Amino acid sequence: MPLFPLFFMIVLIAIKESLWLVGVICLVLTIKSWSFTSTRLVLMSLLVVVFIVYGQDFDDATPIQTIDILDAKQNGDRIRYLATANQQELIVSATLDEHQDLDYERIGRRCQVELTEKMVLPRVNRGGFDEARWMRTERLAGKFEVKEWGSCTDTPGFDAQGRRMRQAWMDRIERLPAKQALYIEALVLGEDRLMDQLTLDRFKKFGLLHAIVISGSHIAFLIFTILWILKKCRLTRERRAEFVLVLLPLYGWLTEWSAPVTRAVCVAFILLLYQRLGRRTDPLLVVAYVAAAQLAYSYTSLYDIGFQLTVGLTIFLLLSRKIWQKVKRPWNWLLISVWAQILTSLVLQMAEQTEVSPWSPLLNLVIGAWIEWIILPLSFLVGLLLFFPVTDTFMTLHERAVGVLDLALAQAEQLPVPTVAVHLLSLPLFLLVIVVVLIGWYVAEQKWWGHLLPVCALLLGSVSMDLRTEEQVTFLDVGQGDSTVIEKDGETFVIDTGGAFTLSQRPTLRPFDPGSQIVAPFLHTRAETVIDGLILTHADNDHIGGVIGLLKKIRVDTIYFGRYDNQDEKRHRLLEQIEATGTKVEFVKAGREIRPWLTVVAPDESEAEENDRSIVLLADVAGKRVLLTGDASNEQEEGWNLGPIDILKAGHHGSKTSTGLDLLQQTNPETVIISAGRNNRYGHPHEEVLDRIGNQRTIWRTDRDGMITCSSAGCEAMIK
């Protein structure tokens, strides 16, 4: 098996990163697949040298005064630059004021700046984004905010000139309608800065994201198209091959040599070069060497999901040719797509992304083919023809093709059971599922039922985790807001969804929505796509702002509002949106037992202050009494006769207007949870509240501890 270069590099990285189990497995595979030749020995030695040179982690503490800007992405009034300083890459963010036009014009330029360093967060919620891991995978030296811009000049060098040329091309592309420009930039230049949240969610939901990034199949299509055109121009086979060999590196340079482009271009270049020289080579060996070289140059690529998926799936397809050859077309294509979906699900488990679509294999064949054979060539044509005075025929065809794609994605969302959620597996169970998948792969070469083993393994693993789920209450980190998830007796209730506050003067392509980006992904890790209840304590945006986003991804049996909550326009507008989804709505007040273990404590009458109309809940979960007070004030707390409780969620995010001394003395909680945003503009939690709670009680804060999970064993924070 010609994969020894890849296995060998993973062994070196495993030793460096103390990944001992991975190291032992890959060492065995290296020994098993090794075959000695002098050429291979030289190549392996070169890989070791590259790994030693580029595998060092540098920490340059020199103050940053000048940055070279490589790339940028704008979202509303915020723009994020990828830049270099002191020979290290870093993230630099800035806010554009209403009079400021400079955004992408700084790409390829060297600027004087004054920066302040920002905190890099680890994963703070299950199923959430791990910023620290992403920064390390990309080998970024830090995250900074621009305090003040100085003068900018063109960065010298060939690479910077390429960036400015690329930006000038994208300026032309972005004069087209937004959706057309999005697909041209994504498929031709590998740039996703025009990707809106709705389109991104649809592609991720159906496992189609790979279809709109530059991949090996796109490069192959480009090569075959160029060779066909050159053949029609009556060029010899040798000249055609030489032309493409020159074009491929230029295309890589123009697309900034991003990781997927580098892999695809290098593999294609080597295979084409061997063909031009009249020699044969094993494509699997080429893929292994290219992947190994990429790991040697940037060892953290091993943690990159894109690397894991593209390299892993390519190797799998090449090794499984015997299986696919036994099945007639188009059924073999569908079978390949099913296996790809299974392997993708396993890789995404490591990133805590557990939402999958049962329709993904079929949609990959239909929609993937439409993108590959229709939109991709039209995108290249339109992108190139922008430089020539030609008719709008291809522009119109491209616009219609994109319209068909958007319509197909919208219709796919209406399919029965568009997505399901697989429970986040424990490490032992995850490894067991992998073993069963490998066994199924081996058996499938001989017996048809081998194809069923991976699907059964994933389903049984998810069901097993679901059956082992214990009662618990989880306080999610939604920033400056509230969201709590209670799991008991096989039911799941969500209390509030958080919300986001923005002052952006420009429309945001990817707005932050805690309902769809925090609460829903967490529920997916629990194998939940349907929950029993959503309780909205009151109509403040930091409690209900994520409702619609949540309902787009999670089906809710009943939504509960307070009987005396405000009757103003924002509540009516929200109710209309909820009713449009067909979700049942109920109104509750003090004394209502939503469940035998979940009781409404307040309010029992209308109050002048909106926060005092918050639904207050007393829950009995995992043998603990848990009091959730919403934003209710001290005055409201005085009317509650509750007796001792175990866990108190501090009112109003730790504001001094809530969690009074009388409530603390009456309930005497062992644990107090405070849900507040980092560096929030209100100064929550207030020092007065922390002083009232005192040192004798355990305090957990989402702004410091991230998500907090409380069960019969106690409370545990996400950030250790």
Residue % of the chain over a pLDDT of 70: 98
In this model, does residue 625 exceed pLDDT 90?
yes
In this model, does residue 6 exceed pLDDT 80?
yes
Complete DSSP assignment for 65-85: -EEEEEEEEEETTEEEEEEEE
The pLDDT score that the predictor gives to residue 566 is 67
Q: Report the C-alpha gap between 433 and 359 in whole angstroms.
A: 22
Q: Which two tokens stand for residue 579?
A: 């009713």
The string of pLDDT tens digits covering residues 416-473 is: 999 999 999 999 999 999 999 999 999 988 888 899 999 999 999 999 998 888 999 9
DSSP state of 510: S
Q: Report the C-alpha gap between 384 and 172 in whole angstroms.
A: 10
Beta carbons of 173 and 181 less than 8 angstroms apart: yes
Q: Which two tokens stand for residue 129?
A: 């984004």
> Which has more confidence, 220 or 71?
71
What Å distances lie between residue 287 and 65, 479, 504, 539, CA to CA?
A: 41, 43, 45, 55
In this model, does residue 347 exceed pLDDT 80?
yes
Positive/negative CA dihedral, 466, 468, 470, 475: negative
State the residue for tokens 């082992």.
Answer: 468
- The mean per-residue pLDDT over the stretch 120-144 comes to 94
Between 50-59, 81-90, 442-451, the lowest mean confidence (pLDDT) is in 50-59
Burial of 88 by CB count in 10 Å (0-12 exposed, 13-18 middle, 19+ buried)?
A: middle
Residues 6+ apart with CB under 8 A from 389: none
392 pLDDT band, cuts 50/70/90, is confident
> Which amino acid is residue 614, in one-letter code?
S
Q: Report the C-alpha gap between 545 and 497 in whole angstroms.
A: 7
The pLDDT score that the predictor gives to residue 106 is 92
What Å distances lie between residue 293 and 306, 307, 716, CA to CA?
A: 16, 12, 41
Q: Which two tokens stand for residue 455?
A: 């699907």
What Å distances lie between residue 491 and 424, 531, 536, 615, 714, CA to CA?
A: 18, 7, 17, 20, 20
Residue % of the chain over a pLDDT of 90: 68
> Phi/psi class of residue 533: alpha, beta or left (left: φ > 0; alpha: ψ in -120 to 50)?
beta
Q: Report the C-alpha gap between 717 and 720 in whole angstroms.
A: 6
Residues in the chain: 720
Number of H helices, E strands in the chain: 28, 22
Domain with CATH 3.60.15.10 in the chain: 472-717
> Helix %, strand %, coil % for the chain, to 5?
50, 20, 35
Q: Report the C-alpha gap between 442 and 444 in whole angstroms.
A: 6
The dotted CATH code for 472-717 is: 3.60.15.10
State the residue for tokens 């806010």.
Answer: 95
> Phi/psi class of residue 649: alpha, beta or left (left: φ > 0; alpha: ψ in -120 to 50)?
beta
Domain with CATH 2.40.50 in the chain: 66-156
Q: Which two tokens stand for residue 436?
A: 């069963």
Q: Report the C-alpha gap between 719 and 634 in whole angstroms.
A: 31
Q: What's the mean per-residue pLDDT of the chain?
A: 91
The pLDDT score that the predictor gives to residue 458 is 93
Extended strands (E) in 629-707: 647-649, 671-674, 698-701
Phi, psi of 28 (to 5 degrees): -60, -45
Q: Class assignment of domain 66-156?
A: mainly beta
Secondary structure (3-state) at 631: coil
What Å distances lie between residue 241 and 224, 231, 271, CA to CA?
A: 11, 11, 11
What does the angle CA 704 – CA 709 – CA 715 come to, to the nearest 5 degrees? Answer: 85
The pLDDT score that the predictor gives to residue 60 is 67
Read off the pTM.
0.93
What does the angle CA 409 – CA 415 – CA 416 come to, to the nearest 5 degrees? Answer: 155
What Å distances lie between residue 346 and 187, 363, 425, 597, CA to CA?
A: 26, 19, 10, 36
Burial of 484 by CB count in 10 Å (0-12 exposed, 13-18 middle, 19+ buried)?
A: buried
> Which has more confidence, 501 or 561?
561
